[in-house]
A and B are shown apart, each in its own frame.
Chain A
Amino acid sequence: MGFFIAQLLTGLANAAALFLVASGLSLIFGVTRIVNFAHGSFYMLGAYVGITLMGVLPGVLGPYLGFWGAIVLTGLIVGLAGALVEIVVLRPIYRAPELFQLVATFGVILVIQDLALMVWGAEDQMGPRAPGLRGVFRIFGEPIPKYDIVLICITPFILLALWALIAKTRLGVLVRAATQDREMVAALGVNQRWLFTGVFALGSALAGWGGALQLPKGGADLLMDFNIIGPLFVVTVIGGMGSLPGAFIAAVLISVLNVFGVAYLPQSTLVLMFVVMAIVLIVRPYGLLGKEEVAGEHGQSGAPETPIRPFGRRGRLAVAGLLLVMALLPLVTQPFALVLLTDIVIFALFAASLQFILGTGGLVSFGHAAFYGGGAYAAALMVTYAKTPMEIAFLFAPLGAGMLALVIGWFCIRLSGVYFAMLTLAFSQLVWSLVFQWRAVTRGDDGLIDIWPSAWLSGTVPYYYFTLVVGVLGILFLRTVIHAPFGYALRAGRDSARQAEAMGIDVKRVQYVAFALAGALAGLAGGLFVFAKGSVFPTELEIGKSFDALIVVFLGGVKTLSGGIVGATFMAAVEDWLTRLHYWRLLLGLLIIAVVILAPEGIVGSARRLGLRLGLVKHTEAD
């Protein structure tokens, strides 16, 4: 009994910080419709700033005022940082295609990571104890830290204060109005720019407070930003995007569940959270207290797309020429360049498969790595346990990934927009945690090793050719599908699902098949990857891997297949070059932000526009 209550109280105490951070994310999404991946970074920033202030302020203000004053001040400082990010990075790109902003927020993550490294160093920092709250209370004989009890007591007040802010103040009225109908609020003469900045600052401040408040229980380290993203999105989605009470309930639910998971099912802690989220979304697709998202209620943002055209003669010649050069390269270059090129081709295929479902299908998947890594693992497991020869194991990569996509897609396709994105993220995390924690089969983070190609393909040059042929065929297949009736039907469903349904097209079924196809092609890329490296680790299934592909597709340009390929090439080359530098994340982050601001249509789209202006590309009417 005592143990049970102790666990419950610990869970409730953990919920405090999580709720603060999640409510900030929820607010920002509700008003600006930005999925802010950098929110975890503000949480981390809060922890670091908090530690610094807690080192300084108590000397000036005394222990009590110093400690609590430091927490309050931390939120204000992080809020300011949030406002700065909003003004500098996000403001220029609100008019860009939907969800494009998340690429910019990813750039922000990288920048903040390296800035934190510069300022606070690489070592983990312990949080200071709260003054006067060092000991424990005994409850049913179990020790409960006093600070935990304080956290449990103040969390409802935080909820109440936020609720009052939203329900009673003018800012709150604007926030609620904007959450419901942004266009209308703008039409009523509200200065939307400053409303967005204000909300972003408030949301960031909440993240900062969350980071500072958890200090006595934890501390600050450079992995905080990524570690909290999982629980953060789970809480926001379970609660319902944009709902504060929902975030509160979900934060408590997840924190308590987590504590009990650690106690009773230590092997499945990571899986548990995402299983709960998947169940909630299947039963209540918009979260516990969320409202249905009406897709495209206010029309598409950004300029309408121009009709697609296959490459003309000149374009085809250029591609053929490029392929010829790539085929001849092994004659002149060093092996390491071929290794890089192999990576690029694999990445390009992976990105192209995401581009297919994202651009052509309009389905933004946040968990595409599940199929890439899934394919890699499918092949690796065949080799490891069934001793299958490479030629056959390789086929299991697209096959296994395609089947996985059929299962995951069955749950996800019924949702749309950001909820679809979140559910794919949840499922990919589920796959990742399965692989990570099911050590008996997958060997966890030791990975599966010794997965080498057959003799006729071993060696850098033969495998390069193999990758080139498979990769190019995969991309050509996608291209064929895009221009085939199926691709048109997929686009029709994206442009206007209502119209498509009203002309006999089963939109959900088309999307389901497309999702499976994209998964299979991602798996193909994963298969190429595993035999190129000879091993596979859970990192290939991580959120980070999914984000890599997303960034590449958005950077290259969502609208054309070539966007994904160009983006992948650009990214792989830049990363290869930048990672040799010390603060490469900072540079890469700044580069991403710069591309996002300068080329809001992606590299391909903006290059095309530039070509139009210079008269290099033929003008069509829609430009």
Chain B
Amino acid sequence: MTEILRVENLAKSYGTFEAVKGISFTVREGEMKALIGPNGAGKSTCFNMLTGQIRPTRGEVFLDGARITGLPPRVIWRRGVGRTFQITGTYQSMTVIENVQMALISHNRRVFSLFGRARALYRTEALALLDRVGMADQAERPCSVLAYGDLKKLELAIALAHRPRLLLMDEPTAGMAPSARIALMQLTADIVTEEGLSVLFTEHDMDVVFAHAHHIMVLNRGELIADGNAAEVRANPQVQDVYLGGGMLFKEIDHA
């Protein structure tokens, strides 16, 4: 498998505090990789550097061999990286399908069109995307009335609109009921297999992580302390140390 994302020595400092201390890793094509770690480990900072929201202090990010370090989010998006946010940022004044259409309009570089009805553009494609995440029946509902889980699904549909090769998901299941979490990640996993894209996600729920991630990275105090498959990460004494009580959790999964 070839690598789609390569991160080299990536670091971010705020004054004297180093939130991320020079981490390196790769994401390979077609894999689902999880980035886990306790609160404040630097997961979100790391994520925001990958998608351009935060400029790294040092280090490099390569997408498919091309350097994307420090590019603005919209440029990174155009290079084929989709992302979902921990706190969803859908357009409240639009309907579900209009949210997806907006992404398609941008993808087709029609943002500066002053004429023509936006509502009539790319409807079929938008509906197909909504269908993919099981939201087609809610296409015409205002975004502002959606249940939280549905909002997450909509976000996934939006992130898939420009056919990304890499999808970055920041806490995709945070705030969802346990059963809904599994369902959403199963959906994501199916899409990954079918479309052949790669996913990097952060997650707090270990059930979700161990059920779906092919590889797991553990971040602690800005340092990468483990990077491997589930068994390797579980066996890592440093990880067990960080997750003190979490050791229990790992065992439960073994039984499951």
Q: Which of A481, A486, A492, A510 sits near B91, CB closer than 8 Å?
A: A492
Residues of B at the A interface (CB closer than 8 Å) are 51, 53, 72-74, 77-78, 83, 85, 89-95, 98, 101-103, 105-107, 110-119, 121, 141-145, 158, 161-162
Whether the pair B91, A504 counts as a contact (CB closer than 8 A) is: no
Supposing A495-B94, A504-B78 touch, asked if A621 and B141 sit within 8 A by C-beta, the answer is: yes
A187 near B: Cβ within 8 Å?
no
A120 near B: Cβ within 8 Å?
no
Whether the pair B106, A306 counts as a contact (CB closer than 8 A) is: no
Residues of A at the B interface (CB closer than 8 Å) are 300, 304-308, 310, 480-481, 483-489, 491-492, 494-496, 498-499, 501-506, 510, 513, 620-622
Whether the pair B102, A307 counts as a contact (CB closer than 8 A) is: no
Supposing A488-B105, A503-B103 touch, asked if A498 and B92 sit within 8 A by C-beta, the answer is: no
Residue of B nearest to A495 (CB): B91
Whether the pair A485, B116 counts as a contact (CB closer than 8 A) is: yes
Whether the pair B102, A488 counts as a contact (CB closer than 8 A) is: yes
Residue of B nearest to A506 (CB): B74
**Cβ–Cβ < 8 Å partners of B94 in chain A:** 307, 488, 491-492, 495
Q: Which of A480, A492, A495, A621 sits near B114, CB closer than 8 Å?
A: A480
CA distance A121 to B184 in the complex (A): 72
Give the distance to chain B from A414, nearest Cβ to Cβ, in Å: 14
Supposing A484-B114, A485-B116 touch, asked if A496 and B95 sit within 8 A by C-beta, the answer is: no
**Cβ–Cβ < 8 Å partners of B103 in chain A:** 503
17 further A-B pairs in the complex, CB-CB below 8 A; given A484-B115, A496-B91, A502-B51: A304-B142, A305-B144, A306-B142, A307-B98, A483-B117, A484-B116, A484-B117, A485-B112, A486-B112, A488-B118, A491-B91, A492-B102, A499-B91, A501-B73, A504-B162, A506-B74, A620-B142
Supposing A499-B90, A499-B91, A513-B112 touch, asked if A487 and B102 sit within 8 A by C-beta, the answer is: no
**Cβ–Cβ < 8 Å partners of B111 in chain A:** 485-486, 489, 504-506, 510
CA distance A494 to B89 in the complex (A): 11
Whether the pair B73, A489 counts as a contact (CB closer than 8 A) is: no
Q: Which of B53, B92, B142 sits near A621, CB closer than 8 Å?
A: B142
**Cβ–Cβ < 8 Å partners of A506 in chain B:** 74, 111
Whether the pair B77, A503 counts as a contact (CB closer than 8 A) is: yes
Whether the pair A308, B91 counts as a contact (CB closer than 8 A) is: no
CA distance A510 to B89 in the complex (A): 19
Residue of B nearest to A493 (CB): B91
Between A and B, 28 residue pairs with Cβ closer than 8 Å are A307-B95, A480-B114, A483-B118, A484-B113, A484-B115, A485-B110, A485-B111, A485-B116, A485-B121, A487-B118, A488-B94, A488-B101, A488-B105, A494-B93, A495-B92, A496-B92, A498-B53, A499-B91, A502-B73, A502-B77, A502-B85, A503-B102, A503-B158, A504-B74, A504-B77, A504-B107, A505-B111, A620-B142
Residue of A nearest to B74 (CB): A504
Supposing A484-B118, A501-B73 touch, asked if A304 and B105 sit within 8 A by C-beta, the answer is: no
Give the distance to chain A from B3, nearest Cβ to Cβ, in Å: 23
What is the total of A-B residue contacts with beta carbons within 8 Å? 122
Residue of B nearest to A306 (CB): B142
Whether the pair B105, A308 counts as a contact (CB closer than 8 A) is: no
**Cβ–Cβ < 8 Å partners of A484 in chain B:** 113-118
Supposing A307-B93, A489-B111 touch, asked if A499 and B117 sit within 8 A by C-beta, the answer is: no
The 10 closest A-B pairs by CB, nearest first: A499-B89, A304-B144, A305-B93, A496-B89, A622-B142, A495-B91, A488-B118, A504-B106, A485-B113, A304-B92
Residue of B nearest to A499 (CB): B89
Q: Of residues B101, B111, B119, which shows the largest number of chain A Cβ atoms within 10 Å of its Cβ?
A: B111
**Cβ–Cβ < 8 Å partners of A621 in chain B:** 141-142, 145
Q: Which of A483, A494, A496, A505 sits near B106, CB closer than 8 Å?
A: A505
Give the distance to chain B from A523, nearest Cβ to Cβ, in Å: 17
**Cβ–Cβ < 8 Å partners of A505 in chain B:** 74, 102, 106, 111
Supposing A483-B119, A622-B142 touch, asked if A489 and B106 sit within 8 A by C-beta, the answer is: yes
Q: Which of A300, A305, A310, A622 sits near B145, CB closer than 8 Å?
A: A622
Whether the pair B117, A502 counts as a contact (CB closer than 8 A) is: no
Q: Which of A487, A494, A502 sits near B83, CB closer than 8 Å?
A: A502
Whether the pair B142, A307 counts as a contact (CB closer than 8 A) is: yes
Q: Which of B93, B105, B116, B144 sits near A489, CB closer than 8 Å?
A: B105
**Cβ–Cβ < 8 Å partners of A504 in chain B:** 74, 77-78, 106-107, 111, 162
CA distance A225 to B77 in the complex (A): 51
**Cβ–Cβ < 8 Å partners of B114 in chain A:** 480-481, 484, 486
**Cβ–Cβ < 8 Å partners of A486 in chain B:** 111-114
**Cβ–Cβ < 8 Å partners of A492 in chain B:** 91, 94, 102
Give the distance to chain B from A300, nearest Cβ to Cβ, in Å: 7
**Cβ–Cβ < 8 Å partners of A499 in chain B:** 85, 89-91
CA distance A304 to B162 in the complex (A): 27
**Cβ–Cβ < 8 Å partners of B93 in chain A:** 304-308, 491, 494-495
Residue of B nearest to A497 (CB): B89
Residue of B nearest to A491 (CB): B93
**Cβ–Cβ < 8 Å partners of B78 in chain A:** 504
Q: Which of B73, B77, B144, B161 sits near A622, CB closer than 8 Å?
A: B144
CA distance A241 to B189 in the complex (A): 49
**Cβ–Cβ < 8 Å partners of B85 in chain A:** 498-499, 502
Q: Of residues A481, A494, A621, which shows the largest number of chain B Cβ atoms within 10 Å of its Cβ?
A: A621
Give the distance to chain B from A517, nearest Cβ to Cβ, in Å: 8
CA distance A483 to B101 in the complex (A): 13
Give the distance to chain A from B98, nearest Cβ to Cβ, in Å: 7
Residue of B nearest to A517 (CB): B114
Q: Of residues B51, B106, B121, which shows the largest number of chain A Cβ atoms within 10 Å of its Cβ?
A: B106
Give the distance to chain A from B102, nearest Cβ to Cβ, in Å: 5
Give the distance to chain A from B81, nearest Cβ to Cβ, in Å: 9
CA distance A496 to B85 in the complex (A): 12
Residue of A nearest to B105 (CB): A485
CA distance A22 to B236 in the complex (A): 61
CA distance A306 to B91 in the complex (A): 11
**Cβ–Cβ < 8 Å partners of A310 in chain B:** 117
CA distance A506 to B114 in the complex (A): 16
Give the distance to chain A from B55, nearest Cβ to Cβ, in Å: 14
CA distance A513 to B106 in the complex (A): 16
CA distance A510 to B142 in the complex (A): 24
Q: Of residues A304, A481, A486, A503, which shows the largest number of chain B Cβ atoms within 10 Å of its Cβ?
A: A503
**Cβ–Cβ < 8 Å partners of A489 in chain B:** 102, 105-106, 111-112
**Cβ–Cβ < 8 Å partners of B77 in chain A:** 502-504
**Cβ–Cβ < 8 Å partners of A510 in chain B:** 111-112
CA distance A491 to B93 in the complex (A): 8
Residue of A nearest to B155 (CB): A499
CA distance A68 to B137 in the complex (A): 73
Whether the pair A501, B141 counts as a contact (CB closer than 8 A) is: no
CA distance A44 to B248 in the complex (A): 71
CA distance A259 to B118 in the complex (A): 55
CA distance A621 to B143 in the complex (A): 10
Residue of A nearest to B72 (CB): A501
